Structure 1
Amino acid sequence: MGAKVAVLPIVGMIMAECAQAGRMIAGKAAMSNGMSSFVFVLYSNTIASIILLPSSLIFHRPQERPPLNLSIVFGFFLLGLFGCLGQSFGYAGINLSSPALGTAMLNTVPGLTFVLAVIFRMEKVDCRSYSTLAKSMGTIISMGGAFVVTYYKGPLLLKALPSASNSSHQVLSQHSNWVLGGSLLAVDCTMASSWLIVQALILKKYPAKLIAVFFYFFFSTVLTSIVCLVMVKDPSAWSLKSNTRLVSVLFSGILGHAFQVGVTTWCLQKTGPVFVSVFAPLGIVITATASVVFFGDALNLGIVIGAVIIASGFYAVIWGKAQEATKKVEDEESFGPASSSQKVPLLQNRSNVDA
């Protein structure tokens, strides 16, 4: 039974990463069709909110819902703020570069999350420990890889398929700005790491997962609405008459937001923010392939080199977490048999142990 429980978060995160990669591709398709990135975020968040409101009320019965207080509501607002900023910067970065660069940059999230977890004392730091050294070095290596994918594009490795070299590819090429796009994506990754930390802290006090996710999308929708009213002046940017825009928004709202964030939140409560963040590299292959096939985005050497460097740091962080989990089990066994409630899955984050 324990092995089954440990496998479920892994399966969940694989599905969530696939949905997130699809969301990036859908966003690129809508923006290449002339849709504003801010409007795309607004529509997607609105759809997710509409889906999650009845779902959360059905899943969490009234007697099971923890009471709301000002501190919890402010935490939900922070989640919405980080989500609004992250999505706005992220889609703008993807529009200026490519979904492949977007998923490559997401590999910095484990390192950034580890740094924030240390700051908020959710991760134990022992400079004499090999696991701490591995996580620290992995973080530094990941940051270096992020600089490579952002500032070094390199020679072309893989061209688009002939069928993909159409007018949409020409539109995307005209708006390509690699360095600026990478910088905006770096801000998105920082917001994503902050979101994971705040979400983990909130779930310790308010474990009703779907309600927490609903409030996140609700506040994100409100904040994005304000941004849209200020930033988007062209009425045509709001239109959903195009099938490409409509399908992209529906996919993003249903699978890329409601499903992906819901599953991620469940895994976050079960395992902690660092475990969730280490699945970021999974989307690289999916998104890079789709970018070349469907959008005509070229695959450059800089993405490959940077992704390899970031992945090396990513696996260093995983190794460090695995060593900590092994040591914890050994310590528990040395003090006698532990109860089932004390046993945690591999790579369990310390925040859940202290909860």
Structure 2
Amino acid sequence: MEALALTSVTFATAISNLIPAITFILSFLFGMERLNLRKAAGKAKIIGTMTGISGAMLMTFYKGVEVKMLSFHINLFNQRNGGGSSHGGGGLFLVGAVSSFFFNASYALWLIIQAKMSSAYPYPYSSTALMCFMAALLSVIFTFCVERDLSQWKLGWNVRLLTVAYAGIVVSGVMVAVTSWCLRMKGPLFVSVFSPLMLVVVAFAGSTILDEKLYLGSIIGSLLIVCGLYLVLWGKNKEIMKNQLVPICHQ
């Protein structure tokens, strides 16, 4: 069961790393991105996207030797034993894999829709407030259908309250507003290419705070992700500069 759970997490993580590729394909189909294989900027975007995905896959599937780092270790969850027991079988693995794929495809599609909406409604704060309100309403309805014990809804002065506050303020509030602003300024590919960077932050933060082991594959994968990110940003910057010079040349 532990091996199955590890495989499920690994597969879900690998699928989540495909967000830049899915977003690039959707952006191309909707006419928001161009290949421009004859230009250096177009080649940089494609190579950078593939490099970032390769680095994320390397972090997911390859460990290598353990790397010792000078760090402080804080056991936030007071766990003395390994991960908890896992339940389920191949059916749950398939459901999890399919759900993970559709979630990431939906997130990539949301970036496209949000970019289109931002051009017609360039007000990230009010649009974020509307999205958060609708998400909260749907979450309450769904939770009442699943969990009707009101005692489970109570929040005390513990890590649950901190988790809910962080998810509501930072993840659902600040992050969506900043994402909407970036989508309007740079486009969906620019935003999606930062997704694998989360693996880098989690890997180094986990080894520093949660007493997790850091492996050579994580370091090499992190370098590839950063290099891929730089290539995409360089390519997008070249395209933006070219688009700004075209109207001036016509004048």
Q: TM-score, normalised by structure 1?
A: 0.53
Which one-letter code corresponds to 2:231 in the other structure?
A
Deviation at 1:200, TM superposition (A): 0.8
Identical residues among aligned pairs (%): 32
- Correspondences of 1:324-339 after superposition (within 5 Å): 324-336=239-251
Deviation at 1:118, TM superposition (A): 0.8
Q: Which runs of 5+ in 1 are unaligned?
A: 1-92, 337-355
Deviations 1:22-61 (A, max 9, x none): xxxxxxxxxxxxxxxxxxxxxxxxxxxxxxxxxxxxxxxx
Output the CA distance in 2 between the equivalents of 1:162 and 1:266: 36
Matched, 1:292 2:207: yes
Which one-letter code corresponds to 1:134 in the other structure?
A
Is the CA contact 2:48–2:228 (under 8 Å) kept in the aligned structure 1?
yes
- What's 2:164 paired with? 249
Deviation at 1:185, TM superposition (A): 6.5
From 27, 30, 36, the counterpart of 1:120: 30
Deviation at 1:243, TM superposition (A): 0.8
From 307, 310, 313, the counterpart of 2:225: 310
Deviations 1:253-301 (A, max 9, x none): 1123212212222232233323333444665554434323332232233
Output the CA distance in 2 between the equivalents of 1:289 and 1:218: 34
Is the CA contact 1:111–1:138 (under 8 Å) kept in the aligned structure 2?
no
Is the CA contact 1:141–1:313 (under 8 Å) kept in the aligned structure 2?
yes
Which one-letter code corresponds to 1:206 in the other structure?
Y
Is the CA contact 1:105–1:149 (under 8 Å) kept in the aligned structure 2?
no
Output the CA distance in 2 between the equivalents of 1:146 and 1:204: 31
Is the CA contact 2:200–2:218 (under 8 Å) kept in the aligned structure 1?
no
Q: TM-score, normalised by structure 2?
A: 0.71
Is the CA contact 2:197–2:225 (under 8 Å) kept in the aligned structure 1?
no
Is the CA contact 2:27–2:33 (under 8 Å) kept in the aligned structure 1?
yes
Higher RCO (C-alpha 8 Å, min separation 6): 2
CA change 1:245–1:328 in 2 (3 A) is same
Deviations 1:39-96 (A, max 9, x none): xxxxxxxxxxxxxxxxxxxxxxxxxxxxxxxxxxxxxxxxxxxxxxxxxxxxxx9xx6
Is the CA contact 1:154–1:301 (under 8 Å) kept in the aligned structure 2?
yes
Which one-letter code corresponds to 1:334 in the other structure?
C
How big is the alpha-carbon RMSD for the aligned residues of Structure 1 and Structure 2?
3.9
Deviation at 1:174, TM superposition (A): 3.3
From 225, 235, 239, the counterpart of 1:320: 235
Output the CA distance in 2 between the equivalents of 1:133 and 1:298: 36
Matched, 1:196 2:106: no
Question: Which protein is richer in helix relative to its size?
Answer: 1
CA change 1:160–1:251 in 2 (3 A) is farther
- What's 1:139 paired with? 49
Output the CA distance in 2 between the equivalents of 1:328 and 1:200: 18
Output the CA distance in 2 between the equivalents of 1:162 and 1:191: 38
